Amino acid sequence: MSDDKHDLHSPAPMVDEVSEFEVLELAVRELAIEKGLFTKEDHNRWTEYMHTLGPAPAARLVAKAWLDPEFKKLAVNDGVKASLDVGIDWINSMPTNFGTPSDYCNLRVLEDTPKLKHVVVCTLCSCYPRPILGQSPEWYRTPNYRRRIVRWPRQVLAEFGLQLPEDIEVRVEDSNQKSRFIVLPVRPEGTEGWSEDQLAEIVTRDCLIGVAVPKPSVTANRKRPVRRAVNPYHH
Amino acid sequence: MPSSIRDKVHRHLDICRQIQPALHQETHAPSPDMIDNAHFRAYTRSPHDIGGEPDIPITWEEKEEEVWEHNTFVTCEVLAWRGVWNAEERRRRQNVEVGETMYLGLPYYGRWLLTAAKILVDKQFITLTELQEKMDEVRKRYE
């Protein structure tokens, strides 16, 4: 159980006994391999595939759309087809060659305008466009974000550092098992004449979820406390 | 959302809140006349249907991933790849069948992990005894 008084910046506590989560995880994995449900190589291949994922292709898609009106049209009309241009094949992706079992093949690209801001949630679980955006951040998975963003979006966005004027409409898109979303934000002023590489750099993961907007000088997500793992996985 | 539907949703959420650990009211299998339709819907709501519930602001955090969390994710995906379960089944088991206490009380991947173990037992790929013996064996490696 998490301790609210736990100092978020302190190192993870030293634990001298193996956790039941670790025991169960090893037991399930080893039994599944022993029973021939999958092989050790299957597991390794999936881990290698995970290492290739991250927000870079989605950022590239946005940068391309900013530079090329035809590509923008394609992205908004057919996100899956547009993904091919940034190297992501939703339908035939590795390692299964039939896409990932839990992400399906229906990416929608939500176009912001100066008067309309999109933000993405999955109220029922934590559906997220993994193939093009990588693993979801912890806060996106919290019941708190999922409870509040659909009912008090302006307040929640303000907590993320995004204060929206009243005349900008906020549209919260609720993901589901079959449909995944990324936000195509408005290209910020001060980026005239920039290259695709330069533009892609300012499209952060948070911009693609919709809790931030791109700024010419910002190339990273807003700094937040990091909860340390007892036995961290190094990506 | 039309305001009449909005009102209904808010009323539903209010009732859901009131029936959670209901120490302040009788919850000992009441007679049918004590459960109106609104309460029926509240009791039969699944624990993951939380959109719109009231809550207080928290600190938004990033999180390092535990080794077991990564491996749990991969195991669940690979089990699906090899046809042991599909996405609908996983969601029902991970989000609904765990029940409210585990749903809100366990880490995100904790639910995934318990569900992966349960599917192997439920579909008779392993017995509960095999699982317990394997867990004992794994624990001994760390002694």
Q: Are residues B135 and B89 in the same domain?
A: yes
Indicate whether B61 belongs to any domain.
no
What CATH number should be reported for the domain holding residue B84? 1.10.472.20
Q: Are residues A124 and A179 in the same domain?
A: yes
> In which domain, by residue range, is B111 found?
67-141
Instruction: Report CB contact under 8 Å: B75, A160.
Output: no
Q: Are residues A41 and A147 in the same domain?
A: no
Indicate whether A227 belongs to any domain.
no
Locus of tokens 């046809």: B83
Q: Are residues A95 and A35 in the same domain?
A: no
User: Is B89 in CB contact (< 8 Å) with chain A?
Assistant: no
Q: Is the pLDDT of residue B101 over 60?
A: yes
| Bond from prior residue into A95 cis (ω within 30 degrees of 0) | yes
Q: Are residues A81 and A165 in the same domain?
A: yes
* Vertex A85 angle, CA A81 and A88, to 5°: 75
Indicate whether A3 belongs to any domain.
no
pLDDT tens string B34-84: 899 999 998 888 999 999 999 999 999 999 999 999 999 999 999 999 999
Burial readout B10-40 (b: 16 or more C-beta within 10 A, e: otherwise) = eebbebbeeeeeeeeeeeeeeeeeeeeeeee
DSSP A183: E
Indicate whether A178 belongs to any domain.
yes
Indicate whether B128 belongs to any domain.
yes
> In which domain, by residue range, is A63 found?
54-209
Indicate whether B56 belongs to any domain.
no
Report yes or no: B79 and A38 within 8 Å, Cβ to Cβ. Answer: yes
User: Is B28 in CB contact (< 8 Å) with chain A?
Assistant: no
Indicate whether B31 belongs to any domain.
yes
Q: Are residues A110 and A150 in the same domain?
A: yes
Indicate whether B91 belongs to any domain.
yes
Q: Are residues A42 and A125 in the same domain?
A: no
Domain count, chain A: 2
Give the ipTM.
Answer: 0.91
pLDDT value at residue A5? 44
What CATH number should be reported for the domain holding residue A99? 3.90.330.10
Q: Are residues B71 and B39 in the same domain?
A: no
Interface of A with B in 66-85 (CB under 8 A): none
pLDDT value at residue B19? 72
Per-residue 3-state assignment (H helix, E strand, C coil) for A36-47: CCCCHHHHHHHH
* Vertex A170 angle, CA A165 and A174, to 5°: 155
User: Is B90 in CB contact (< 8 Å) with chain A?
Assistant: yes
Residues of A in contact with B108 (CB under 8 A): 126, 138, 141
Instruction: Report CB contact under 8 Å: A150, B51.
Output: yes
Q: Are residues B123 and B77 in the same domain?
A: yes
* Residue from A171, A93, A187 nearest A132 by CA: A93
User: Is A46 in CB contact (< 8 Å) with chain B?
Assistant: yes
Which pair of structure tokens corresponds to residue B27? 């919850």
Indicate whether A137 belongs to any domain.
yes
Residues of B in contact with A120 (CB under 8 A): none
* Residue from B61, B70, B53 nearest B104 by CA: B53
Per-residue pLDDT of chain A (235 residues; tens, 9 = 90+): 444 444 455 556 566 689 999 999 999 999 999 999 999 999 999 999 999 999 999 999 999 999 999 999 999 999 999 999 999 999 988 788 888 887 778 999 999 999 999 999 999 999 999 999 999 999 999 999 999 999 999 999 999 999 999 999 999 999 987 899 999 999 999 999 999 999 999 999 999 999 999 999 999 999 999 999 999 998 7
Q: How far apart are the CA of B40 and the nearest CA of chain A, in angstroms?
A: 20
Residues of A in contact with B130 (CB under 8 A): 31
Indicate whether A2 belongs to any domain.
no
Main-chain phi, psi angles of B7, to 5 degrees: -60, -40
Which pair of structure tokens corresponds to residue B39? 């309460």
Q: Are residues A67 and A43 in the same domain?
A: no
